Structure 1
Amino acid sequence: MKIEQIHHVAYRCKDAKETVEWYGKMLNMDFILAIAENHVPSTHEPDPYMHVFLDAGNANVLAFFELPTKPEMGRDPNTPIWVQHIAFKVKDRAELVEFKEHLEANGVDVLGVTDHSIFHSIYFFDPNGHRVELACPDPEEEAMLKRMDEVKWDMLNEWSETKRAPKHAEWLHKKELSDV
């Protein structure tokens, strides 16, 4: 058995229509499907909802639920705001910068471009308060990923034992690839 791909990722939203329009305008995602019922199919709980689906490219689907009878949505107060997010890949740095300029021109506060060595990112929030990241590959991504692959298990095992950042990939944020 093997998972083929993610079917969709679902988040809660404050307003389904606003969310669909925002993702269409800001990230050029097409609205592909809406499902609305008064009962939850899996639990049979009586609870009206609107479930909307957006095309995030390459058969990736981003979905949202609007739940008007539930308390206002919030965040886990024990998780830093930068941790929980969804990241989308864009072609290259030029397109990343183009998205940044587009978002800012439409009143969205954007953090970055942040250089993570393997990739470069910008960060912002959607109208629901969800953190969104757009990332593009670094031109040296393939070589860096090969080096990271060689140490991933050592890093994970060391982290598991010490809960301290292992030093196996310190070069990553220094972009020292001369020996690759």
Structure 2
Amino acid sequence: MPNKQLIGIHHVSAITKNARDNYNFYTKMLGLRLVKKTVNQDDTSMYHLFYADERGNPGTDFTFFEIPVVGRTYEGTNCISLTTLRVKNDKALEYWKNRFNKYGVQHEIISEVCGRSTLAFKDHENQRLMLVSDEKNVGVPGGKAWGKSTIPDDYGIIGLGPVELTVSRLERTVNTLVEVLGFRKKHTYQSSKTIHVYETGEGGSGAEVHVIEEKALPREKAGRGSVHHVAFRVKDNIELKKWENKLTSLNIGHSGIVERYYFQSLYFREPNGILFELATDGPGFEVDEEFEELGEKLALPPFFEDKRAEIEAKLQPLETSK
């Protein structure tokens, strides 16, 4: 049977130098909920923090690996160059502009990008971010803002919007998106550069990848404030297995299916070197914590529980209880 279309964006994972400062910005400034405080399963000496809507619905997770020794980011090409976050409407952007002014968050003016009202800004580590209004959006629905945050419900962040890629060879990335992953060309628009838009599933803000070709720059050197990878949504592990078989049949190197406990994953790099992940929608973050207690304690998958004491000893304490 053929592969079903990918549903949309599942999560974006980035790098931070300091988990405490990161937690303060994304929960207290942006009002996201920390739905899982866990560790990088490939290196359990570092935190892996998941920020999202009220319960970490697929398509709302913005995650961070803490690497205390990481250096600065040297921006360039062949990278994920922008992460966007969805809000309900244009009015919400006015709220955020005023909030950023009040607290000294670096930001640009509200402007229209690809037919949507947007507000570009940066976090304390110069992570490249943009708020995107859903007022005119149709397609994959957003999540539900965390009602107990400091942000009024009408203005809260409801998920991830389009992800922007900057690449040195446009045709290589486009071929992967279209011929391998089944994305379709939506349109092209002009910003400071020509941006090519591809979408999957129901389309819309939660299912778009925007691609810029930039040949002149060197490859980006990742550091604090850079993005590690983007993940796309797959319904379940049956579909994920089909994707594994497809990549194998195309002789595309991949990780094989990896059990992440909260979802299953499959990783590969597109030809310009950007790391893509395919991730299942479930089972989700409530598999080991109650909804009301998400993110309050260090959560470890069962296969790490026998090493809990050893893992905790390597981590700096991070207080996240409500």
Is TM > 0.5 for Structure 1 vs Structure 2? yes
1:116 aligned to which of 240, 247, 260: 260
Percent pairwise identity: 21
Q: How far is 1:151 from its partner?
A: 4.2
- 1:66 to 2:220 alignment: no
In structure 2, the CA distance between the partners of 1:35 and 1:143, relative to structure 1 (3 Å rule), is closer
Aligned CA RMSD, in angstroms, stands at: 2.8
The amino acid of 2:263's aligned partner reads F
- Quick check: which one's strand share is greater? 2
In structure 2, the CA distance between the partners of 1:55 and 1:26, relative to structure 1 (3 Å rule), is same
Q: Distance in 2 between matches of 1:73 and 1:86?
A: 18
Q: 1:10-89 counterparts in 2 under 5 A?
A: 10-36=164-190, 40=192, 49-58=193-202, 59=204, 60-68=207-215, 70-76=216-222, 78=223, 84-89=228-233
In structure 2, the CA distance between the partners of 1:124 and 1:148, relative to structure 1 (3 Å rule), is farther
- 1:173 to 2:173 alignment: no
- Quick check: which one's helix share is greater? 1
TM norm structure 1:
0.69
In structure 2, the CA distance between the partners of 1:50 and 1:136, relative to structure 1 (3 Å rule), is same
Q: How far is 1:94 from its partner?
A: 1.2
Larger Rg: 1
Question: Which residue number corresponds to residue 2 of structure 1?
Answer: 156
Q: How far is 1:147 from its partner?
A: 3.3
SS at match of 2:280: strand
TM norm structure 2:
0.41
Deviation per CA, 1:48-88, whole angstroms, max 9, x where unpaired? x43111103342211111023x3232332x47xxx700001
The amino acid of 2:217's aligned partner reads P
Q: Distance in 2 between matches of 1:123 and 1:71?
A: 26
SS at match of 2:218: coil
Deviation per CA, 1:88-130, whole angstroms, max 9, x where unpaired? 1101111101111111211211102111111100100011111
2:280 aligned to which of 136, 140, 160: 136
Q: Distance in 2 between matches of 1:18 and 1:174?
A: 38
Q: Distance in 2 between matches of 1:127 and 1:146?
A: 38
* Cα contact 1:85–1:132 (8 A) shared by 2: yes
2:251 aligned to which of 99, 104, 107: 107
Q: Distance in 1 between matches of 2:182 and 2:174?
A: 10
Unmatched segments (≥5 aa) in structure 2? 1-154, 306-322
* Cα contact 2:196–2:211 (8 A) shared by 1: yes
Q: Distance in 1 between matches of 2:286 and 2:248?
A: 33
